[in-house]
A = this chain, B = another copy of it.
Amino acid sequence: MKLLFKKDDLLNGINIVLKAVPSKTTMSILECILINATDNQIKLTANDMELGIETTVEGTIETRGKIALDAKLLSEIIRKLSGGDSPIVIESDEKFNTTITCENSIFHIQGKDGDEFSYLPYIERENYISLSQFTLKEVIRQTIFSISVNDSNKMMTGELFEVKGNELKVVSLDGHRMSIRKIILKDNYQDIKVIVPGKTLGEISKILGGDNEKEVLIFFSKNHILFEFDNTVVVSRLIEGEYFRIDQMLSSDYETKVTVNKREFLDCIDRASILIRENDKKPIIINILDHVMELKLNSSFGSMNAKVLIHKSGKDIMIGFNPKFLIDALRIIDDEEIDLYMMNPKSPCFIKDAEEQYIYLILPVNFNAATV
């Protein structure tokens, strides 16, 4: 095999597939990137058996072939080669001895047989939706923070992708809070309801360019989801099972509605959280009165009191929250003013816009009212 690349093309392709190279594995072939130039295209592939990425790279094929090269080594070598006008030449022989040459430097490394590499599963391209790269990237950013990090409940480590007609609903929850984003698609599609691993979405969002003009096609099969964009294909297993019944967690009843400047509210909570160290479960207590909310946090380090002006309708209420959950949700809302809906100090608080394009549900925490 003998291939010629421009440095930037090759490096860009490597950086994309690198997201699917496992950091720890017992199968050393999975630590490799497969370079496949057996056809008229040069494809790079990485696959950790849950998530697989394949991307097509520009380059010249002088001799066809394929080779699996250690991903970390390959990426470091290509990153440090001078590039410029000189092409990078990758050449391998039948014993998988590989040389990587650029200008005045030659690397000799030992490759592996490309035939040993695990190919991506074949996915029927039938059931699909289309949306912009920007929208998908945003939707992931606005929901992924509320998946569960520990996988004692596997379902909570993923996100629900539900399509009905022209609406895509994306949901994540971790037992203390829930995020829902609704997107109106350009077309109507078949009903779909799948659970996508959070890790897959995290990696996808790093690769997506965030361009509003460029599309992503998302294909669904029984066990897999496939994202197709630019020259790249990402395939991931789905999480099996029936997702939580989220509709019964939602309610549009409320006793108190508060409208507040997001920045001011966030800054106050953020400031208060200085007084909390890890594993310290001190709530922020919010006392909602006419025109003003009083925030208070007490910890072993000290206390903070703050006041923020609000618009209120309905009853006064005093309610406590884990400040981190409020901060997480407020950080990713782009609106200048937000609405909070509360029923009582034991029921979930909803932060949502009028059209319910986003809904953030946060469970309150108990606090000893006598100490406030």
The answer to whether A12 has its CB under 8 Å from any CB of chain B is no
Within 8 A of B (CB), among A50-103: 70, 73, 76-77, 80-82
- B73 near A301 with CB under 8 A, answer yes
Q: Is A246 an interface residue (CB 8 A)?
A: no
Report whether A104 and B274 are in contact in the complex, using a CB–CB cutoff of 8 Å.
Answer: no
Residue of B109, B274, B306 near A302 (CB, 8 A) is B109
Q: Is the CB of B106 within 8 A of A271?
A: no
Q: Mark A139-165, 1 if CB is under 8 A from B, else 0.
A: 000000000000000000000000000
Residue of B nearest to A106 (CB): B305
Beta-carbon contacts under 8 Å, A251-268 to B: 264, 267-268
Taking a contact as CB atoms under 8 Å apart, the answer to whether B308 and A274 are in contact is no
Decide if A107 touches B308 in the complex (CB within 8 Å). Answer: no
CB-CB nearest in chain B for A101? B305
Q: Are B77 and A107 in contact (CB under 8 A)?
A: no
> What distance in Å separates the Cβ of A339 from its nearest Cβ neighbour in chain B?
21
Within 8 A of B (CB), among A96-155: 104-110
Q: Does A303 contact B (CB under 8 A)?
A: yes
Indicate whether A230 reaches chain B with its CB closer than 8 angstroms.
no
**Contact of A271 with B105 in the complex, beta carbons under 8 Å:** yes
Chain A, 172-196, contact with B by CB distance < 8 Å: what is the 0/1 string? 0000000000000000000000000
Does A6 have its Cβ within 8 Å of any Cβ on chain B?
no
A271 touches B305 (CB 8 A): no
Q: Let me know if A268 and B105 touch, CB within 8 A.
A: yes
Most chain B CB atoms below 10 A, which of A81, A107, A109? A107
Q: Are A304 and B105 in contact (CB under 8 A)?
A: yes
> Which of A77, A302, A307 counts the most B-chain CB atoms under 10 A from its CB?
A302
Interface bracket on A? 20 to 34
A151 to B264, CA, bound (A): 49
Check if B307 sits within 8 Å of A104, measured CB to CB: yes
Instruction: Write the A282-313 contact mask toward B (1 if CB under 8 angstroms, else 0).
Output: 00000000000000000001111111100000
Assess the B105–A305 pair: CB atoms within 8 A. yes
Say yes or no: is A211 at the interface (Cβ < 8 Å to chain B).
Answer: no
A303 to B275, CA, bound (A): 53
Q: Are A80 and B305 in contact (CB under 8 A)?
A: no
Q: Kindly identify, within residues 289 to 346 of chain A, every residue whose CB is under 8 Å from any CB belonging to chain B.
A: 301-308
- Residues on B with C-beta less than 8 A from A268 are 104-105
Provide the bound-state CA to CA distance between A270 and B80, in Å. 8
Q: A82-B267, A105-B268, A268-B105 are in contact. Are A73 and B306 (CB under 8 A)?
A: no
Chain B contacts of A106 at CB under 8 A? 304-306
Q: Which residue of B lies closest to A303 (CB)?
A: B108
The answer on a CB contact under 8 Å between B304 and A107 is yes
Residues on A lying within 8 angstroms of B by beta carbon are: 70, 73, 76-77, 80-82, 104-110, 264, 267-268, 270-271, 274-275, 301-308
